[in-house]
Amino acid sequence: MSTIEFPAEFTLARKNKFDHSSVGRWILSHVRPYWAIMLMIVGGAIGNAVLAVVVPVLTGDAFNAMLQKQPDTSVLLPLAITLGVSQIIRGVLQLGRNFGAELMAQKMERDIRDELYLSLLGKSMTFHNLQPVGDTMARSTNDVREVNYMFSPGVNLVVGSFMFILMPLFFGPRYHPSLIAVPAIFIIIYFIALARYLKNLSPVTDQVRATFGTMNTHLSESLDGVEIMKGAAQEDAEVDRFIVNAKKVRDAFVQQGELEARYVAMLLLGLTYAGGLVHALFLFRAGLIDIGAVIAYFGMLQLLQFPTFTSTFAYSQISLGVSSARRILDLINRETWLDQNASGRTSTLRGEIEFRNVSFSYPGSEAALKNVSFKVQAGQTVALVGQTGAGKTSLAKLINRTYDVSEGAVLVDGVDVREWQLAALREQISIIEQDIFLFSRSLSDNIAFGKPGATKNEVIAASIAAQAHDFILDFDETYATIVGERGATLSGGQRQRVALARAFLTDPRVLILDDSTSAIDSATEDKIQRAIANASRGRTTFIITHRLSQIRWADLIIVLRKGEIAAIGSHDELMQTSEAYSRIFRE
C-alpha cells in the first residue's frame, strides 16, 4: 500500500495505518479492517434480493395452479409455507445487513475521528494559525458524520439496491430468453443516467460542505469574540454577515435538490414497467409463456422500484460523504514542515541559548526577525524590550520550536534546536504568554497540566511560589474549583498566577515570561517579582516586559526594533550607549 508521509510535530501511536494517497484509497483503507462486516453486508444483500424474487415466482405458480380447468388447491398451502419461511429468512438477512452497515459506519467514524484528532495534534503552530478553528470543527464533527452516513444508509442502500437490479436480469429469462431485453436496457440507461447525475452532483456537494465550513468559521469567530462584538454594539452587523453565509449554505442545498429533482430514474422505471408488461403480454398471446410467468415477470420488474427510489438520496449521501472525506483528508495531508525528530538529542538542558544570524517570517508576511545574533549563558536572565511588533514574541517562540527559523540557526547548549527531539526540548522549556489559556477543568488540573502525576503538595507548593495559593483558598472548592472556558471565571491577574504556578511545577531549564505580569496589581507584583527571581536561579530566563522594575535586574537586555537588534547589554551599559533604550525610560 503506497502512502504519502508528511512531517508532523509529533508522530503519535496509531492502531492502523491508512493510505493518504487519494480519497478512494483512504476510504478503502478504513474499510479494510472490517472486511468481515463488509462480507456480511454483501451476503445479506444478495440473500435479501434472491429471496425477494421468491415472492413473484411463487405468486405466479399459485396463479397457474388456480387458473387450470380443475384448480389444484393442494399446492397453495405448501406455496404459502415456503413463501412465509423464505421471507422470515429474508428478514433475518436484511437485519444482519442493516446491522452490519451501521456497525461498520460507527466503527469507521470512530477511527476517522481518532486519526483526524491525532493528525491535528501533530500539526505545527503555523498550520493552526492559518487554519480557521470553525472550519476545523466543521470537518472534525459534521464532515466525519457525513462519512458515517455515506456507509449507513448510503453504501448499505446502494449495495442492496444493486442486487435488486440484477434479479430480473438473472431470473426473467427462466420463463423466456427474450425477457432479458427490457431489464438489460433499463440497466444500461440507468447507469448512464446515474453516471451523469453523479458527475453533476459532485461539485455541488463539494460546495455544500465548503459553504457549511465557512458558515461555521464565522459562527466560531463570533462566539469567541462575543465580548468585543457586544462591547462595540455590532450584533446586527454580525447577524447580517451570518445570514449571508447561511444563505449560501441554503442555496447550495437548493441546487443539490434541483439536481435530484431532474434525475430521470423514476421516469425510466415507469417506461420499464410498461415495456416489460407489453413484452410479456405479446409472449403470452403467442403462447410462449403462461399467465403465471407474466405475473411473476412483472413482479420481478417491480423489484426495480427499490433501487430506483433509493438512488436519488442514497447516491447523494455517498457524494456528500466523498466530499466530506476529501475535506478531512485535505486537513490530514496538510503539510507542516516541522518534524518531531524522534531520534534527536534528549539530554538534560543546561540552558545556554544562541541565535546565529536568525531571520524569520510568518507565511505570506514580511520578516518578523532579521539577522538576529546573540548568545546567552546558562542561568542568565534576559530581558527582551521594544515596541509592539518589534519581534519579541516571535524570537521567544523560536527557542522551543513553536516555529522554525527561515534562515540561520537557534542553538541550545551548542546544538541546533532542529537536532533535538522535539518533546525532550519542549518539556524543559516553559512559556507563559500574555494571553493565558486555561482549560475548563479544576484549578488543580490546570496547574498540574505539564506534570499530570504531580502530588497535591507539589501543586500547593507551586501555587505558593506563584502567589496563587491565597486566592485559590478563597474559593469554596479551593483547588477543585472548575474554571470557565479559557479561565473566563478568573481575573487577568489570577489567570497569570495560575499559569506561573503551572510553569513552576514543571521546573523547566528555560523559562520564558511573555509580559506575564501585565495584569497584576502593584502589591502582588512585588511578591511575584520575588517569586520570579527565586524561580530564575539556576535556569535561563527570558522576560518580555514593559515593566522597568523587571528590566533593571536582567543580566542581559536585548532591545529589538522592527525585527532587528537595536542594542544589547546590561542596564547601565545601555543607559550610556543606547538612545533607543534610554528613550524607553524617558517615555
Place of cell 517569586: 531
Is 0.85 topped by the overall pTM? no
What gap in Å lies between CA 540 and CA 536, rounded to an integer?
Answer: 7
47 touches 90 (CB < 8 A)? yes
Confidence of residue 1 (pLDDT cuts 50, 70, 90): very low
What pLDDT, in 10s, does the model give residues 21-47?
Answer: 888 899 999 999 999 999 999 999 999
Rg, the chain, Cα only: 35
Mapping DSSP onto H, E and C, the string for 334-383 reads CCCCCCCCCCCECCCCCCCEEEEEEEEECCCCCEEEEEEEEEECCCCEEE
> What pLDDT score was predicted for residue 15?
55
- What fold characterizes domain 23-333? ABC transporter transmembrane region fold (1.20.1560)
Rounded percentage of the chain residues whose pLDDT exceeds 90: 18
What gap in Å lies between CA 484 and CA 473, rounded to an integer?
Answer: 17
> What pLDDT score was predicted for residue 573?
80
- In terms of pLDDT, which residue wins out, 515 or 385? 385
What gap in Å lies between CA 294 and CA 175, rounded to an integer?
Answer: 9
Mean pLDDT across 262-279: 87
What pLDDT, in 10s, does the model give residues 135-194?
Answer: 888 888 888 988 999 998 888 988 988 899 999 999 989 899 999 999 999 999 988 888
What pLDDT, in 10s, does the model give residues 413-446?
Answer: 988 988 888 888 888 888 877 777 788 788 888 8
Mean pLDDT across 75-103: 90
> What pLDDT score was predicted for residue 227?
63
Confidence of residue 531 (pLDDT cuts 50, 70, 90): low
What pLDDT, in 10s, does the model give residues 439-471?
Answer: 878 888 888 887 777 888 888 888 888 778 888
> What pLDDT score was predicted for residue 584?
67
- If you ran DSSP here, which 8-state letter would residue 247 be given? H
Q: What is the residue extent of each domain of the chain? A: 23-333, 379-404+416-586
What number of other Cβ atoms are within 10 A of residue 69's Cβ? 4
What gap in Å lies between CA 455 and CA 444, rounded to an integer?
Answer: 10
Of 86-100, 127-141, 398-412, 528-542, least confident by mean pLDDT is: 528-542
551 touches 385 (CB < 8 A)? yes
Of 49-53, 112-116, 206-210, least confident by mean pLDDT is: 206-210
Confidence of residue 5 (pLDDT cuts 50, 70, 90): very low
What gap in Å lies between CA 317 and CA 41, rounded to an integer?
Answer: 18
What gap in Å lies between CA 383 and CA 567, rounded to an integer?
Answer: 12
Span 379-404+416-586: which CATH code? Answer: 3.40.50.300
Length of the chain: 587
